[in-house]
Amino acid sequence: MLSVAETLEQFGDRFAAAHPAPYRARWASVNRRIEQLILEGHLGSVRDACTVPVAGTTKVATAGDDRTVRLWDLATGRHQATLRHAAPVLSVCPVRIDGRTWLASASRDNTVRLWDPVTGHHERLLVRHPKTITGMAETVVAGQSVLAIGCADGTLLVLEPATGRQWGLRGHDGAVTAIAAATLDDQRSILVTGGEDRVVRVWDLATRERIQAFVTSIEAATAVCCVAAGTHVYAVAATFRTIWLWDIATPWTRAVDKHSQRVRAICSIEIDGRAWVASAGDERVIYLWLPEEGEVRRTLSGHPARVNALASAVVDGRPTLISAGHDRTARVWNPEPTRAASDRGEYDQVNSLCVSDLDGQVLVASAAISRRIGVWDARRGRQLQRFLGHIGGAFAICAVRTRSGDVLFATAGNDTTIRVWNPFTGLGRVLIRRSEGVRAMCTTTRNGRDLLATAGFHGAPVQLWTPDSGRRIGRGLLHRMMQRADERDHVANIRAICALPTAAGTMFATASGDHTVWLWHESTARPLKILTGHSGPVNAVHPLVVDGQLLLASAADDRTVRLWEPFAGTLEATLTGHVDAVSGVCAVTVGEHTQLASVSHDRTVRIWNLASETTTQVIPLHHPAFACVSAGDLLVVGLSAGVLALQLNDPVEQRDRR
C-alpha cells in the first residue's frame, strides 16, 4: 500500500525496494494531488459539505445520497461519526443555539434534524414538511441562528431552532431549486433563492421583505450565493453553463460564460482581503474568479466526476474551500496562490490502454479524456512520447501492425476520426474519417495479417479495416445495418469489444450500455449468443484461457465481474467485492498461475483466483480506475489522474520467503 502512495506522490522508493510484498508500485505518471484532504467513505454521491467548529477544533460534515451525514476531523481527515436519515441527505450546516454549535441536516425524507457534532447523537427533529425539501441555508437574524428551508411546492420556511418559531416566505411559482444565505457588513441578513419559475429572488430576513427579483435565462438556477465586494453586494446564480451577477442595489448585471459544461455549485470566499467566487460543476474543475472582473484567476482540479457543492470557511485564520463530488468524496483545498496560478495537471483521466512488444521492448500506450496520447517503456517507466491527438478526448486505443511490419497505435476520438500514430516519432494521420458511433476498437488477425476491428461504426456492430490505408474489409455482418430495436440499442451503446480466436474463425464480443454482451462471428449477420445477467452497463470484456478452456470476462456498473463460457453462452462465475462500477478487466500472470485483475471506480484493483472464485489481493489506488492491461510482468492501470504500473507477486510465495 505504501509503495503505491509513495510512487503516486513521488516520495522516492523506500517502500518499493523494501521487504517482500504481494505487490509493488513500479512507476507512475500521474498528477500529484493538490488537495489538503480527500474525505472518502460515502457510498453515494456527496451532495453538500460544511465546517463545524467544536471545542477549539474544526470538523467537516458531509451529506450524501447514501442517506448519511458523516463527520470528519479537519486536521487529520479521519472519519469520526455517521449520522443516518431515511433518504438521501441534501444539505448540512452549523447552527448556534445558546452559545453552542450544533449540526443541522436536511433530507429527502422531508425532515430537518439537529445533531450533536461532538457525540454524533441525534438531538431532535426540527421540521417534518409535507412537501419535498430541496435545500437549506443558515444565517443570523437579530442575534439568533435561523434556518431557511426551500421546498418543492415553492415555499420558503424560516425556522429559529432555539425557539422553534417559524414563518414562511412566498414568491416562487414552482419548486425552490437553489438557496443560500449571508450576513452583510451592515448586519443585514440576506437570503438568495432560485426557483423553477426561472426567477432569482433576494430577501431581507429581518423585515421578511423581498428586495429584488431577477429573471434568469431559459433554465432555473442550479446554484446561488451572495457576494459582498467592496461597496457592492451581488446576487450570483448559475443557470446551465452561465453564471449571472446582479447588483442588488442597481440595475447592473453581468453574465460570466467561462464554463463549458453545467455549473452545479457556487460560493463566495475571501482570499487576501478580497471577495472571490468559486464555481464548479460537470467539468470537474473548480474556477476561482473576482466578481468585478469575471475572469478566472485560478483553477483547482482533482475530482474525477462532477462537483455538486462548494462551501467556504475560515480555519485558523486562513480561507478553506470544501468541495462535494459525485465521485463519493469531499475535498478540502487551500485556495490561496501557494501553487501555480492554474493547476489543471499534466495528465488526465485515462479511458483506454494497450500494450505492444516491439523487438523485446514492451510499450504501453494510453488514450485520455483530454487530447493527450502517451507512450511508455513499460519496464523502465520512461515516457517515450506524449502528443496531442484528437480534437477532443480519445475513447479507445489499440496496437496494430502494418503490412510492412511497423507497429502503430490506433485511436478512436470524440472528433469522429480514427487515427494511427508512430510510437517513436509521435507522427500521426487520420485513417478513417466520419467514424460516428465508434467508442471501442480492438486488433484481430486474418491470414497472418493484423486488422483493426471497430464497433458501432455508423450503426454496424463490427467493421474490419486495414491499418495501412483504412480500407474496409468484408461484407455480411461487417456491412449490415441493424434492423431490430434491441440490435440498434445494443450497437448504439457499445463500450468495449474484443476478439476471440476459434478454430472456426474469429468471434467478437461487444459490451454495451444495454447491460448485455453479444457474441458475433465475422462471417454471419446475426449475433450467435446474447449474454444476459449484468444489471448495469457493461464496460469491458476480455478473453482468457484457464486450464486450456477459453473464457470471457465482463465488467459492469453493477459492481461485478462475470465469467462466461462463450460458445455455450453460459455463466460460469460471478465475482463480487467491488463497491463501485467495475471499469476494466484483464488476465494477469501471478507466479505460475493465470489470474484475473479488475479495476474499479472504488479506487482499487482486485486480483481474483479463478479456481476458488475469491479475491487474493486488494490493491488501493487512491484514484478511480478506468482501464487496465497486462504488460509483461506488470499490471498497468489507467486512473482518473494518469497511469500507474504495478508488479504482482504470489502472496503464498512471498510469505514462504519470509
Q: Tell whether 157 and 251 lie within a shared domain.
A: yes
Q: In total, how many domains does the chain have?
A: 2
Average pLDDT over residues 31-50: 89
8 Å CB contact between 640 and 622: no
Percent of the chain with pLDDT over 90: 61
Query: Which pLDDT tens digit goes with each residue over 109-138?
Result: 999 999 999 999 999 999 998 888 999 999
Q: Tell whether 51 and 94 lie within a shared domain.
A: yes
Q: Tell whether 171 and 302 lie within a shared domain.
A: yes
Residue 96 sits in a domain of what CATH number? 2.130.10.10
Helix (H, G, I), strand (E, B) or coil at 612: coil
Q: Tell whether 220 and 256 lie within a shared domain.
A: yes
**Within-domain flag for 343:** no
**Within-domain flag for 537:** no
**Minimal CA–CA distance to 51: which of 90, 88, 101?**
101
Average pLDDT over residues 276-286: 93
Domain extent at residue 103: 37-334
Q: Tell whether 217 and 168 lie within a shared domain.
A: yes
**Within-domain flag for 494:** no
**Within-domain flag for 290:** yes
260 pLDDT higher than 90? no
Supply the DSSP symbol for 193. Answer: E
**Position with higher pLDDT, 3 vs 393:** 393
Helix (H, G, I), strand (E, B) or coil at 456: coil
Q: Tell whether 171 and 201 lie within a shared domain.
A: yes
Residue 392 sits in a domain of what CATH number? 2.40.10.480
As given in the structure block, the three cell numbers for residue 501 are 480466436
Say what the pTM is: 0.71
Q: What are phi and psi of 490, to 5 degrees?
A: -65, -50
317 sits in the region (left: phi over 0; alpha: psi -120 to 50; else beta) called left
**DSSP run (H or E) holding 173:** none
Separation between Cα atoms, residue 170 and residue 582, nearest integer Å:
46
Count of CB atoms situated within 10 Å of the CB of 199: 19
Query: Which pLDDT tens digit goes with each residue over 138-189?
Result: 999 988 899 999 999 999 999 999 999 999 998 899 999 999 998 877 778 9
Can you spell out the DSSP letters for 342-355?
EE--S---EEEEEE
Choose one of 404, 430, 456: the last residue of a domain.
Answer: 430
Query: Which pLDDT tens digit goes with each residue over 503-557?
Result: 878 899 999 999 999 999 877 667 889 999 999 999 999 999 988 899 999 999 9
Q: Tell whether 317 and 180 lie within a shared domain.
A: yes
**Residue where the block lists cell 442517506:** 67
**Within-domain flag for 563:** no
Q: Tell whether 236 and 357 lie within a shared domain.
A: no
**DSSP run (H or E) holding 283:** none
Average pLDDT over residues 218-245: 91
Q: Tell whether 326 and 384 lie within a shared domain.
A: no
Query: Which pLDDT tens digit goes with each residue over 425-465?
Result: 888 899 998 877 788 999 999 888 999 999 887 777 888 99
Choose one of 371, 397, 430: the last residue of a domain.
Answer: 430
Choose one of 285, 303, 334: the last residue of a domain.
Answer: 334
**Within-domain flag for 595:** no
Q: Judging by beta carbons within 10 Å of its beta carbon (0-12, 13-18, 19+), is residue 230 exposed, middle or buried?
A: exposed
Q: Tell whether 127 and 254 lie within a shared domain.
A: yes
**Minimal CA–CA distance to 280: which of 298, 292, 265?**
265
Which of the listed ranges 2-6, 314-318, 338-342 does the model predict with the highest average pLDDT?
A: 314-318
**Within-domain flag for 224:** yes
**DSSP run (H or E) holding 3:** helix 2-8
